Structure 1
Amino acid sequence: MTYSIAGMCRRTGMFGVAITTSSIAVGSRCSFAQAGVGAVLTQHRTDPRLGPRGLALLERGKSASEVVFALTSADESIGHRQLAVIDREGRTAWYHGDKIHSVHNASEGDGCVAIGNIIRKPSVTDAMIGAFQARPDDHLAERLMTAIEAGKAEGGEFRQEKSAALLVVHEQSFPLVDLRVDYDRDALGQLRFLWETYVPFLDLYVGRAVAPDATK
Structure 2
Amino acid sequence: MTFSLVARCAETGMFGVAISSSSPAVAARCSYTRAGVGAVASQNITDPTLGPLALDLMQNGMSAAQAVHEVRAQGRFIEYRQVLAIDAQGNTAIHSGPNSLGIWTDAAGLNVICAGNLLANDTVPQAVVDRFEAATGHLGDRLIAAMRAGLAAGGEAGPVHSAGLQLCDKVAWPVADLRCDWTDACPIETVATAWEVYKPQLDAYVQRALDPREAPSYGVPGDD
TM-score bracket relative to the smaller structure? over 0.9
CA offset at residue 207 of structure 1? 1.1
**Secondary structure of the corresponding residue to residue 124 of structure 2:** helix
Structure 1 distance, partners of 2:101, 2:27, is 24
CA offset at residue 90 of structure 1? 0.4
Structure 2 distance, partners of 1:199, 1:81, is 32
CA offset at residue 74 of structure 1? 3.8
Cross-structure match for 1:62: 62
Cross-structure match for 2:151: 152
Cross-structure match for 2:178: 179
Cross-structure match for 1:123: 123
CA offset at residue 99 of structure 1? 1.4
Structure 2 distance, partners of 1:138, 1:74, is 38
Q: Which amino acid aligns with 1:145?
A: I
Structure 2 distance, partners of 1:47, 1:121, is 25
Render the CA deviation track for 1:148-195: whole Å, top value 9, x for unaligned.
111000000122110000000000011111100000112111111101
Render the CA deviation track for 1:108-149: whole Å, top value 9, x for unaligned.
0000000000001111000100010002x4100110111111
Structure 2 length-normalised TM = 0.94
Structure 2 distance, partners of 1:141, 1:75, is 30
Q: Give the unaligned 5+ runs of structure 2.
A: 218-224
1:24-39 mapped onto 2 (5 Å cutoff): 24-39=24-39
Structure 1 distance, partners of 2:141, 2:44, is 25
Structure 2 distance, partners of 1:79, 1:205, is 40
CA offset at residue 100 of structure 1? 2.1
**Secondary structure of the corresponding residue to residue 3 of structure 2:** strand
Cross-structure match for 1:92: 92
Supply the RMSD in Å over aligned alpha carbons: 1.0
The answer to whether the 8 A contact 2:8-2:15 is kept is yes
Cross-structure match for 1:102: 102
Farther-moved stretch of structure 1 (203-212 vs 41-50)? 203-212
Structure 2 distance, partners of 1:69, 1:13, is 24
Cross-structure match for 2:214: 214
Cross-structure match for 2:189: 189
Q: Which amino acid aligns with 1:51?
A: G
The answer to whether the 8 A contact 2:43-2:83 is kept is yes
The answer to whether the 8 A contact 2:167-2:177 is kept is yes
CA offset at residue 75 of structure 1? 3.5
**Secondary structure of the corresponding residue to residue 86 of structure 2:** strand
Q: Which amino acid aligns with 2:41?
A: L
Q: 1:52 to 1:75 in 2, by over 3 A?
A: closer
The answer to whether the 8 A contact 2:50-2:75 is kept is no
Name segments (4+ residues, structure 1) moved above 3 Å.
none
Structure 1 distance, partners of 2:22, 2:100, is 17
Identity of aligned residues (%): 39
Q: Give the unaligned 5+ runs of structure 1.
A: none
Q: Which amino acid aligns with 2:148?
A: E
Q: Which amino acid aligns with 1:210?
A: L
